Amino acid sequence: MGKNEGRYTSGNSEPTTDPMRPHYLFLPFALVASTLASGAMAFGLSDPFSTEAITPPRSLLSPTTDSTNAPCKELPPEAIFGVLEVVDLALCQNPKTHESWANARAQAAQVGVAQSVFLPGLDAKLAVSRADSGTQTVNQRSASLTLSWLLYDFGARSANLENARQLLSAASSTLDATVQAVFLSALQSFYNTQAARAAVSAALESEKASRESFTAAEVRYKVGTGTPADRLQAQTAWSQAMLNRIKAEGTLKNAYGTLANVMGLDASQPLKLAEIGEATPDASFERDIEALIAEARNRRPDLRAAEAQVKAAQSNIDFTRASGLPTVSLSTGPSWVDSGNITSNSSSIGLTLTVPIFSGFNTTYKIRSAQARAEVASAQRDNVRLQVALDVWTAYQNLMTATQTIRTTGDLLASAEQSERVALGRYKAGVGNILDVLNAQSALAAARVQRIQAQLDWNVSRASLAKAVGTLDSRLLNPAAESKIP
């Protein structure tokens, strides 16, 4: 005769327990296990190891005390962007800074993971099974609660924790380096755009002057004092000036798109930039190059990151060695079993000594690999150290050149303007020729472009030197210190 689950069976078989009926053993343990799990989850959502305190802050360099200069502030739609607003928005919205900050937060969490293994673990296990022998059905329930604690491991956990801390230090320094790179990129894009704006203005001035020369040549041609060649040459120069202006306008549009991209905006985002004054360099940045290199090696975040990577690799060697050594663990906990009408419970406590005897030389080669990676990290650190010196040297020489160039182009522009005025005046008076006018205007247009490029080079070179030394921060944007390297 068949069996009906949940009811008594016919014959001589003993009654079975209804699996849906609450049991005096199973239900309380389930409640205890559920409570422990909920408590563990709530505890996990907090920050018991205070990793937030060691997590680097968001993308800030050296924020000023003025709250109006705080990064990530919302700007009105018609805002006019100065260099400070451009840099703030770039640091706030550029995906590169988001990525580096997320990596640093992830590594801070890994420090918490490395600390967690010093604490005991508590596991609950619940099991329900049903055995049907054909004549009898037996429902079995079991439950256990186990506390496990690794007591001693020859320093493997400590080495792993030190490795995590050094990797966090490397991630934090990498974040600083990324922030400075975005800072410099924003400055370069800002000044490139300003230079492109100035180039358009210069092209318009040249076009205006060419049109004036063409008008003068046409007037002389009509009154019979000029030649057709003069008129055609002036018209060609005017057309060339218009072409230069069109190209300058296209370059400006591209510069706006690049600037918006660096700021974390779509390239099509319209931007309004504040006017900037001319650079007025002084000699405050002229310092001993050896002192600058030494300062850079103390400040550069990428070198600090490389140093931390070396220390992390060395800690990884210690961890790998300790991983092949014995461990001592403690385990304890109660257990319950309910099988049919038989119920039993027990508890246990014990120490476990685990001794790795042979692992197919796995540990040996892991140690060799860790040592080789440490050598790689050391070589990379030495390479960064050399690169720091080269960066400072190159940036310093570029700034020296830009300073001398900006002074010379000022004199060049002044003389070119005077030469163009004299040549055009003589031609209008009928005592000069059109070639002198066109040559003078061409020289003036070239002098304007060189002046604009010199201004751009000086602003970018100054920021590049600050980055090379590791001092690129918001002080560079302070108008009072605009011409000084911090």
For residue 483, pLDDT beyond 70: no
Question: What residues pair up with 332 in beta bridges, in sequence order?
Answer: 147, 349
In the prediction, which pLDDT does 252 show? 94
Q: Give SS3 for 141.
A: strand
Residue 199 vs residues 76, 149, 356, 425: alpha-carbon distances, Å: 28, 71, 73, 25
148, 323, 482 from 123: Cα distances, Å = 8, 24, 62
What's the confidence (pLDDT) of residue 61? 47
pLDDT at 45: 59
The C-alpha angle 451, 454, 455, rounded to 5 degrees, equals 90
Q: What SS3 class is residue 139?
A: strand
**Each residue's pLDDT tens digit, 199-222:** 999 899 889 888 988 888 888 888
Indicate if the alpha-carbon torsion angle 476, 482, 485, 486 is positive or negative. negative
Span 412-429, pLDDT tens digits: 999 998 988 898 888 888
Q: What is the pLDDT of residues 251-262, one digit of tens each?
A: 999 999 999 999
The confidence score (pLDDT) of residue 274 equals: 87
How far apart (Å, rounded) are the C-alpha atoms in residues 27 and 19? 12
In CATH, 47-119+157-324+371-481 is 1.20.1600.10: yes
> Residue 361: is it exposed, middle or buried by C-beta count within 10 angstroms (0-12/13-18/19+)?
exposed
The 10s digit of each residue's pLDDT in 69-113 is 455 666 677 788 888 889 888 888 889 998 999 999 999 999 999
For residue range 282-325, what is the model confidence (pLDDT) as tens digits? 666 667 889 999 999 999 999 999 999 999 999 999 999 999 99
Q: What's the whole-number average pLDDT of the chain?
A: 83
Q: Tell me the per-residue pLDDT of 379-393, one tens digit each, with 9 for 90 and over.
A: 999 999 999 999 999
Parse the chain into domains and list their residue ranges.
1-35+123-152+329-358, 47-119+157-324+371-481
Q: How confident is the model at residue 39 (pLDDT cuts 50, 70, 90)?
A: low
Structure confidence by residue, pLDDT tens digits, 117-153: 999 999 999 998 887 777 777 788 889 999 999 999 9
